[in-house]
Amino acid sequence: MKLNRESEYGIRALIFLARQGRERVLMASTVAQEQDLPQGFLAKIFQKLTRHGVLRSYRGKQRGYALARPPEEIALKEVVEAIEGPDLMDRCIFWSNRCPTSTPCLLHEWYKEIKPQFDQMLSQTTLAAVVQQEASLSALRPAIEPKQAG
């Protein structure tokens, strides 16, 4: 099971929205610009997240998107499945579909063993935890990145 760029962009955008506060409504174009993401691509991701109840869409004078629930109530699994599809955990580690039982991939048996643990991690990890982890990593980056020659 390979997560695609859509999931990465969706999670990055949700982290940004979570940092803004649950009540703050932002247009997809604003989030795309702030996060350096392709606007059209992000709009399609936001549509999926809205259909699955992760985001709430607002129309009219105050139009845009906001988190549908507090970040503590949004599991990473629901985000990834909204974007990737409900068959996510059934996919092969190498391909975007299932391994045929007649000709499984080279790592099929090993991956089959760790898949339940990965599924549990996605189910138990909330958007709030991802936001907190990302903030911790951001705080460390200046200390670990090499300085540019001036």
Its domain, for residue 67, covers 5-136
Q: The domain that contains 41 carries what CATH number?
A: 1.10.10.10
pLDDT value at position 134? Answer: 83
Determine whether 129 is exposed, middle or buried from the number of CB atoms within 10 Å of its CB (0-12, 13-18, 19+). middle
* Within-domain flag for 59: yes
Six token digits for residue 135: 């903030």
pLDDT value at position 141? Answer: 61
CB-based contacts of 130, cutoff 8 Å, min separation 6: 11, 14, 15, 76
147 phi, psi to nearest 5 deg = -75, 140
Mean pLDDT, consecutive 10-residue stretches, the chain (150 aa), reads 87 96 91 95 96 94 92 96 88 74 80 87 95 79 56
pLDDT value at position 98? Answer: 74
pLDDT value at position 15? Answer: 96
